[in-house]
Structure 1
Amino acid sequence: MQTLDLPFPGLKKLRWLSLGSNKLTTIPARTFQGLEQLQELYLEYNELTTIPAGAFQGLGELFKLDLHGNQLTIIPAGTFQGLVQLQELDLRGNPWHSWSVCINSSSLPLLYYLSGVNFC
């Protein structure tokens, strides 16, 4: 599997989703729409190069997001918008284009674990 083409209809009560090691190259915006109760999302060890703003839209209950071991080089503005419950974000092992890649701490008020980049 390289692309997530469809949303996940009918899985409104899903709390944990692992899509690691699937060679995913892209995640379209609103892919996870309808997973309002998702708390943990694992996307580690794929081949993601960027994540568009809106990719995680609707995941207001998400508290853990694992993106380590991908090919991410930048974090576009708005990537993590709306993830107000996010507490853990793992971005280790990505070939960032700049050492200045950072996460705005005010947009993720509950975030206490950040790995792979710095807070702005």
Structure 2
Amino acid sequence: MAGETNLGALIRSLKPSLIDGVYVFATVASVPDGLAPRMVFQEAEGTTLILLREEAQAHGLSFEFPSRMITLDIHSSLEAVGFMARIATVLAAEGMGVNPVAGFYHDHLFVPEDRAKDAMVVLHKLAAGET
């Protein structure tokens, strides 16, 4: 099932959803038993995990970047050009860092925990053509 590639259509159809929980980034040599991270990515230096802060704490993992996850409820193509760049640009204009993750169906943004509501406002304005 192919996703949307047209940048204008992607922006106009953007429906951000703020997901419950505070997520953190951790790195491990291997994923501990009993852990259910939201994302696992193998890097040369170690395995990166994105997981709920409570899970990281319960497993004694060191972590960084407490963040909130925003799911962009539009089925964007993995080949879409400029979608994440546009989103990152409007968030950067508000002094906000973002760590994006592309899934097969949706893109997900991890924004600083204390800026989640600001990010939602910016994304809604973007979708409405106000930025």
Normalising by the smaller structure, the TM-score range is under 0.3
Which TM-score applies when normalising by structure 1?
0.24
Indicate the structure whose relative CO is greater, using CA pairs within 8 Å and at least 6 residues apart.
Answer: 2
Higher share of residues assigned strand: 2
Which structure would you say has the larger Rg? 2
